[in-house]
Each structure stands twice: as C-alpha cells, then as structure tokens.
Amino acid sequence: MPTNSEVEMSPAEVDTHLSRHETGVLALARDDAPYAIPISYGYDADDRALYLRLVSTPDSEKREFLASTPEARVVVYDDEDDEYASVVGVGTLERVDLGELTPETIAQYGEARRPLFEIWADDKPDLDIELYRFNPETLTGRTVVVERDGE
C-alpha cells in the first residue's frame, strides 16, 4: 500500500478534526509500563483542550496510572476510503474538582458520547467517575492519502 501523499494539518484542520470526532485513545506511562484506553471526549477549540470522564474501580490499573499524574498522549484518528488522518496531543491531565464545575465546563463534558451522570440498575458504589481536562502542550495532525491494492 504505497503512500501517495502525506500532509501536516494546519492548527485549524487539527481543531476541525478534534471537533468532528468524539472518541480516541488515551495513553499513559509509569515506571516504563504503558497503559492505553479508549476514551470519549468533548473538545473546546478556543482553549484547545479535551474534556474526559474516566470511570474506574478502586483496584483498577487506571486509578494507579492516573494517581501518578503522568504525562499523557491522546490520539484521535480516522480512516475513510483512501485517506487516513490522525491528531496526536501530548500534555497533562488535570483532574477537575466537581465543586469547580461551571455551566460552561459542564457543556464541554456534555459533548462526549457518554452521559455526564449515569444510572445503573444495580448499585455501583465502587465506581469512581472523575472529570479531567487534557491540556495539550503540542497538538499535531497528519493526513495521509494511500493507494489501495487493486485500484
């Protein structure tokens, strides 16, 4: 599958890509151990920040990695026909205290696919739902057009 062209996205194209999508992959590392999970997010193009809701249990790996306040990466990608596009953000996750929520920040979380507050048929007392803001120090994007075999 030879590549016909590869182009860096402009900042405006990166914002459009992140605004158009709602899911990606969050990658964390701690003591040379990697950890990556699928996420749903809301994106604020003015602040260039992603808003995440992360659900975990007391003994989960996710809690352990989040407690170490690691540098994070978020990858949002798309593969349509002969075009592959991806955006990679590198930065930090900032836990948002529920007492600091404003109508504006609640609206950002509302952009994510999962409802902000969820109700389960059975009581889930061990689940911890935490809100995070991903503040990327860098946001880069790339679009690649490929020549598919047999075309």
Confidence of residue 125 (pLDDT cuts 50, 70, 90): low
Pick the CATH number of 4-146 from 3.20.20.80, 2.30.110.10, 2.20.25.10, 3.30.465.10: 2.30.110.10
Q: Once rounded to an integer, what is the mean pLDDT over residues 69-83?
A: 87
DSSP-derived letter for residue 117 is: S
Distance CA 102, CA 33 (A): 35
Residues 32-70: tens digit of each pLDDT: 788 898 988 889 899 899 988 887 777 778 777 877 766
CB atoms closer than 10 angstroms to residue 41: 25
Write down the mean pLDDT value for the chain.
80
In the chain the first and final C-alpha atoms are separated, in Å, by: 10
